[in-house]
Amino acid sequence: MVQTPEQRKRNERFAKQQNAKRGKPAVEPKTKLEFKSPLNPILAADILSHQKDSTVDKYNKADMVFFSLQVYWRLSLLVAWRSN
């Protein structure tokens, strides 16, 4: 069976595409992990700022909020690390 010129062109084009694909890794879409922290940073700051403790008297409210956000960030990293 003889190929027609049109079939030959299509076969050559297909072979060229297949050769271009050869050797390339299969593309896998990167999945983005949806991470939702179990700890609300605003709630943590509110709880820490309402404590009646000698440590609260030493620091002002802005320091306590900053500290609570640091604690929140570290806990969220720990939870993300343990979930992997």
The reported pLDDT for the residue numbered 11 is 94
Q: Under a CB-based contact definition with an 8 Å cutoff, are residues 65 and 49 in contact?
A: yes
Of 18-22, 50-54, 67-71, 72-76, give the lowest mean pLDDT range.
50-54
Where do the domains of the chain lie?
Answer: 32-84
The string of pLDDT tens digits covering residues 20-67 is 888 777 777 777 777 676 777 777 777 766 666 555 556 666 777 777
Pick 58 or 7 by higher pLDDT: 7
Please check the confidence at residue 84 and state whether its pLDDT lies above 80: no
- Measured in degrees and rounded to the nearest 5, phi and psi for residue 10 equal -65, -40
The reported pLDDT for the residue numbered 8 is 94
- Which amino acid, 54? S
The reported pLDDT for the residue numbered 78 is 79
